[in-house]
């Protein structure tokens, strides 16, 4: 199981530039989603006049369902500078995969919670790392798309776009680079990779 928690208000505000479409996922009722906190924060963001649409749906991790949802709001999405998604890491990755030319950001971090994992076959995976990197990596998870779960890739071993650990797998960091190149956001790769302190109960990062 997993649990989502909001990123800090400052972190989210820094993402909100220009016109913003917000997508909330209230799909997994059996896991905790900070609905009330997200709603309050979104009201504050909306007061600044940047938010053009708020879409609240369920199971955005289901690609077929999500494709239909996005189509319904495509005029607003096409006009937006940013799509801000409040869901677990799987949901954000699903939205980002449909909106190749759009900046798709995560409003939440995803953490592990002991219990039943669920059996839905999903296209994307989230390692529930506790500090979502999708906002730096073009919506592609470096924890699950890279065989070494590098947060400061790439490792240098990929060949012809394939991972050195698994030749049948595309190198996750090459995918991240290509995506950021397409978004003209390669400067994002200069983000300070932080070392996580796994001894801390809240998995808070510490600067090198």
Could you tell me the CA-to-CA distances from 16 to 13, 60, 147, 203 in Å, in that order?
A: 5, 21, 32, 25
DSSP state letter for 115? S
Which residue, among 14, 34, 16, has the nearest Cα to 24 in the 3D structure?
Answer: 34
Q: Which of residues 85-104 bind ligand SF4 (CB under 6 A)?
A: 89
Site membership for ligand SF4, residue 34 (CB under 6 A): no
- Terminal Cα distance for the chain, rounded: 30
d(CA 61, CA 120): 10
- If one asks whether residue 5 binds ligand SF4 (CB under 6 A), the answer comes out as no
Which of the residues 112 through 131 are near ligand SF4 (CB under 6 A)? Answer: 126-129
110 binds ligand SF4 (CB under 6 A): yes
Q: Binding of ligand SF4 at residue 139 (CB under 6 A)?
A: no
| Among positions 53, 97, 147, 205, the unique one binding ligand SF4 when judged by CB under 6 A | 147
The two three-digit tokens of residue 179, written as one number: 């995506």
Helix intervals (H) in the chain:
9-15, 35-47, 63-72, 74-79, 89-98, 142-145, 172-182
173 lies in the site for ligand SF4, by CB under 6 A: yes
Distance of CA 161 to the CA centre of its chain: 23
Residue number with CB closer to ligand SF4 (78 or 165): 165
107 binds ligand SF4 per the rule CB under 6 A? no
CB 102, min distance to ligand SF4, A? 18
- Please pick, from the candidates 18, 115, 118, 157, the single residue that binds ligand SF4 as defined by CB under 6 A: 157
The residue ranges that bind ligand SF4 (CB under 6 A) are 89, 109-110, 126-129, 132-134, 141, 143-144, 146-148, 150, 153-155, 157-158, 163-165, 171-173
């Amino acid at each position: 199981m997993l649990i989502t928690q909001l990123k800090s208000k400052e972190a989210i505000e820094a993402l909100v530039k220009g016109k913003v479409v917000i997508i909330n996922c209230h799909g997994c009722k059996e896991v905790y989603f900070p609905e009330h906190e997200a709603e309050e924060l979104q009201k504050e963001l909306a007061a600044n006049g940047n938010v053009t649409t708020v879409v609240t749906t369920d199971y955005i991790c289901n690609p077929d369902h999500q494709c239909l949802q996005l189509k319904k709001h495509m005029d607003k999405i096409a006009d937006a500078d940013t799509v801000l998604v409040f869901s677990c890491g799987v949901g954000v990755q699903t939205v980002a995969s449909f909106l190749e030319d759009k900046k798709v950001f995560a409003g939440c971090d995803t953490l592990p919670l002991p219990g039943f994992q669920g059996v839905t076959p999903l296209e994307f995976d989230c390692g529930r790392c506790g500090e979502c990197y999708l906002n730096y990596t073009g919506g592609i998870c470096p924890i699950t798309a890279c065989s070494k779960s590098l947060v400061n890739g790439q490792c240098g071993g990929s060949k012809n776009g394939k991972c050195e650990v698994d030749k049948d797998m595309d190198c996750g960091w090459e995918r991240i680079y290509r995506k950021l190149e397409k978004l003209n956001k390669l400067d994002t790769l200069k983000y300070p990779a932080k070392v996580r302190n796994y001894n801390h109960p809240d998995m808070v990062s510490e600067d090198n």
